[in-house]
Amino acid sequence: MKRILFVPFSLLGGLIAGLLAKRLFDGVWGLIDDEEPPDSEHRRISWPKLLAAAALEGAIFRATRKAADHGARTAFAGVTGSWPGEEEPEPE
C-alpha cells in the first residue's frame, strides 16, 4: 500500500529533478564553453567535447534525481510517518 501512495511523490520529484537538472547543466556548461553543448546529431563536433558534455550531463542528472528521490521519500515520511523503502543499505 505504501508503494501506491508513494507514486505521486515520486512522479512529482522526478519531474522537478528533470527540470532542475536541465537548468543546472545549462548553467555549468555556460561556465565551460560559450557555445551550446554538443549533441550527437550535430555533424561537426569534437568527440572529446561530445563525451565530456554527455558525462557532465549524466552526472548532474543522476545526482539531481537521487537528491529529488530522497527528498520525495523524506516528504512522504513526514506526511505519513512511514519511510517508503529500506531504512539502510544491506551489509556486505
Which of the 8 DSSP states describes residue 40? T
On average, the pLDDT of the chain sits at 91
Q: What is the pTM of this model?
A: 0.82
Please count the other Cβ atoms lying within 10 Å of the Cβ belonging to residue 27: 10
- The pLDDT score that the predictor gives to residue 92 is 82
pLDDT in tens, 61-85: 999 999 999 998 898 899 889 898 8
Residues in contact with 49: Cβ distance below 8 Å, sequence separation at least 6, in sequence order: 33, 38
Dihedral angle sign, alpha carbons of residues 20, 24, 30, 35: negative
Return the percentage of the chain with pLDDT > 70, whole number: 99
pLDDT in tens, 26-42: 999 999 999 999 999 98
Whether the Cβ atoms of residue 38 and residue 53 lie closer than 8 Å to each other = yes
Nearest CA to 5 out of 88, 85, 65, 89 is that of 85
Please count the other Cβ atoms lying within 10 Å of the Cβ belonging to residue 9: 20
